[in-house]
Structure formats: structure tokens, C-alpha cells
Amino acid sequence: MSDHLKRLNAPKSWQIARKTNKFITKTAPGPHNANAMPIAVWLRDHMELVQNMKEIKQVLREKNVLVNGKVCRDPKMGIGIFDIIALPKAGKYYRILRDRKGRHVSIEIDAASAESRLCKIANKTTIKGGKIQLNLRYGANILADNSYKAGDSIVVSLKPEDRFAILDHFPFATGNMAMIIGGRHSGKVARIVEIQTVPASVPNKVILEDEKTKSRFDTIPQYIYVIGKEKSAVDKWGIEQ
């Protein structure tokens, strides 16, 4: 299988120049989905912090880039929504979000905000010893009690001393705030009004209300990312809502 991807075929969410070169780095299999952006593309094309792959590999080799509190060494590692990217030596920290056109945007945050991460629970499993394992959307797995459900969001610590400690919990339930991460409403922040169970093979339907316009719209659970209860727990958006 090819290690590269034609720029013309790269996801539009990457926001890269299409005709400067023929190929671009391909995302390695891993967390997120097909739209995950390789850290190499983020450093060179998205943020313009380096100029070529040689510089990318040197930066990663010197442990200058942390993704979700862990040193990143693979230039093909995919990053996606709500990932925290830290450049400690430069004193820069970023949260990956998605705008209303479904494109990746990097929001600069402070060091304190980079010490935790919002995660969506993809599913949970029972492992050896009867322990409950939460399988998070971005690829990590953590042990917890049975009070969490698939679709819920949790805030976990990224500090080395208490990595993956659960700091907060936002259930996938009516009344809570959510960000839409796919479909035509991508990037919107709204309150969950109703969760409709559809008795068929099609996905369930979630009805939401825009806090500003009071207009309602619907989407599917797959596109819902719960981000708070009474208000959003994300401290800085930097994009139009």
C-alpha cells in the first residue's frame, strides 16, 4: 500500500494547497477516522512551523511535540477533533476543533487548559476480572466503573502523575450541550432537546436547539459530541458559532 496520498484526493478538512506538489503524507491507521490529519501535515502545511519532512522528523526526534500528553514520534500519526497538541519548548498549546464547513482548525489555548482533554466514549467492554473498560473515540482505553455509557463525554487528565484520571462527566442526555462534528451542521454548538429512538436499521435522531437563534435542527448520534451541561466546558472556541 502506498505511503503517500495525492493532494487532490486529500480530505477537504485538511485545508491544504492542492497543486503545489503531487503527493502528501498519508495518515497511518489509528485513532479518529479517515479525516484524521497526519501530524506532519499539521506542522508543515496547516501551521507552517517547518518547511519539509526532514525538519518534521528532526522536531519529532527531539521530542518537541506532544499529542494528548504523549510524545509523538511518528510523522504519519493522525490527529483530530479535541486532540491537544503541545509544543512545550515554544510554550504553545493547541486544541483541534472543526468549523462550520467541517474543516480542522487549531485553537491556541493556555498551558492549564492543555492539561486535560474532552473525550467521547465510543463503547465500553468488560475485560478480565470483570473490570469495565471505556473505549474512547480517539483511540485510548481506560478503566472505570459502570456509571458511564457509550455516547457520553468525559474530561480526562493529561498530567503524567494522574494521566487518564476522570475529572468530569457529561452524559449523552437531553438538556446537555453538544457540538456537531459531522454533516451539514458541523461546528454548531447547541442544546440537546430530544433523543428519538428509530425502530429501524437507520440511526436514531437527535433534536437540538441553537441557543442564539432558538431554531431547531436534527442530526444523528454519531455526529454528537457532548461538551457540557448547562454551558460548554470548552473554554475557548475561536471560531464562529
**In this predicted structure, what is the pLDDT of residue 192?**
96
Q: Please name which of 187, 124, 182, 184 lies closest in space to residue 151, comparing C-alpha atoms.
A: 124
Confidence (pTM): 0.85
Positions in the chain short of pLDDT 50: 236-241
Q: Where are the alpha helices (DSSP H) in the chain?
A: 39-41, 53-61
| Residue burial 38-57, b: 16+ Cβ < 10 Å; e: rest | bbbbbbbbbeebbeeeeebe
**In this predicted structure, what is the pLDDT of residue 236?**
47
